[in-house]
Amino acid sequence: MDLPVMPPVKPMLAKSVARIPEGMQYEAKWDGFRCIVFRDGAEVELGSRTGKPLTRYFPELVAALRANLPERCVVDGEIVIAYDGRLDFDRLTERIHPAASRVNLLAEQTPASFVAFDLLALGDTDLRAAPLTERRAALADALGPAGPPVHLAPATTDAALAQEWFDRYEGAGLDGVVAKPLHLPYRPDARVMFKIKHERTADTVVAGYRFHKSGPVLGSLLLGLYDARGALQHVGVCAAFPMKRRAELVEELEPLRLDDVADHPWAAWTDDSAHEAARLPGAPSRWSGKKDLSWVPLRPERVVEVAYDHMEGDRFRHTAQFRRWRPDRTPDSCTYAQLEEVPRYDLAEVLGG
């Protein structure tokens, strides 16, 4: 493979905002695996958000991309699976499987699609420094002849239409709307776009769990986010699982279990003074009383997406709700930077109303 932009490349990212900004290009926010496709003739490589290849997991897409993309190009987009008229992320995650026979079976039963929304290179030309308007025009031209399962993502500069998409497309399983500055160059691994979602969610690191009060089944997952210093901070818990699922989770997480907390980022959790410098599980609380705050340490390697209502300081105000596992994310990508910064509002305005 010999392209002007070579793998691996980390995709350009978005940060959460409360509402749709004016004067930008708007696209639907797809609920799938972010993927940068590299094609050089017969060679096709699918790069994940982390830069690791996804190629072996989507053999049906490799053939489709070879048939529908320009001979030599680098395209940013999303791998999705549609089921029963809407996007299905759970079926998508099933494709990340070590057995080739299983992958091939699922490729036939629940084939994936690719939705293209940016063009990084075409032929011998590196387009990353070009403004979004030029890249979008070139992408639309390049994908003119393309057909399913390769799609050009709909885009508009009409904010009112984008709001309609935001309101209407949720029923199809889409996450919301992405807004992109018109003159923005392609900036890998930078949060320079904007996303407007239907609920606040965060990708968090599972770093431990507590047992349920009823017995040796999981009570809650302990969640962490990395701060600007690279320290893993305890931000809250995720609970409310069915009892059968609680027992299954203990078994599923057993390979990550640490026998000694000394090897864990939260090793100092029993030291009261340590809680003054960092957020750790088991922090003294007037609400916990004599509640058992002991926990089972896990190697911080799994990522889970949770929904939350709002933050209180640097933690979730209430118990977060499980949304899905994120095998496409790495723990070190789970930082505070992804969290929506809620616009401040004067309490006097509320009381005065």
Q: What's residue 285's pLDDT?
A: 43
CATH code assigned at 21? 3.30.470.30
Picking from 197, 224, 257, the residue at the C-terminal end of a domain is 197
Residues 130 and 192 both lie in one domain: yes
- Among the options 29, 180, 195, 197, which is catalytic? 29
- State the pLDDT confidence band at 2, using cuts at 50, 70 and 90: very high
In a domain, 343, yes or no: no
Residue 48 lies in a domain: yes
pLDDT band at 20 (very low <50, low <70, confident <90, very high): very high
Catalytic residue check, 29: yes
Asked whether residue 207 falls in the same domain as residue 192, the answer is no
Q: Which amino acid is at 208?
A: G
Average pLDDT over residues 330-350: 69
Q: Based on the domain organization, do 163 and 217 belong to the same domain?
A: no
Do residues 158 and 173 share a domain?
A: yes
Q: What is residue 343's predicted lDDT score, i.e. its pLDDT?
A: 46
Question: Hey, what are 185's tokens?
Answer: 């160059």
Same domain, 223 and 184: no
Whether 284 and 325 map to the same domain: the answer is: yes
Dihedral-angle region of residue 28 (phi above 0 means left; psi in -120 to 50 means alpha; beta otherwise): beta
Helix (H) or strand (E) holding 71: none
Contact predicate 43/50, CB 8 Å: no
Q: Is the pTM for the entire model greater than 0.85?
A: no
Residue range of the domain that includes 103: 13-197
Counted domains in the chain:
2
What are the residues facing 239 on neighbouring strands?
321
Residues 36, 74 contacting (CB under 8 angstroms):
yes
Closest CA to 189 of 51, 39, 46: 51
> Residues 283-325: pLDDT tens digits?
544 334 445 568 889 999 999 999 987 777 788 878 899 999 9
Question: CB-based burial of residue 308 (10 Å sphere; 0-12 exposed, 13-18 middle, 19+ buried)?
Answer: buried
Residues 244 and 192 in one domain: no
- What confidence score (pLDDT) does residue 42 get? 96
Report the CATH number at residue 255. Answer: 2.40.50.140
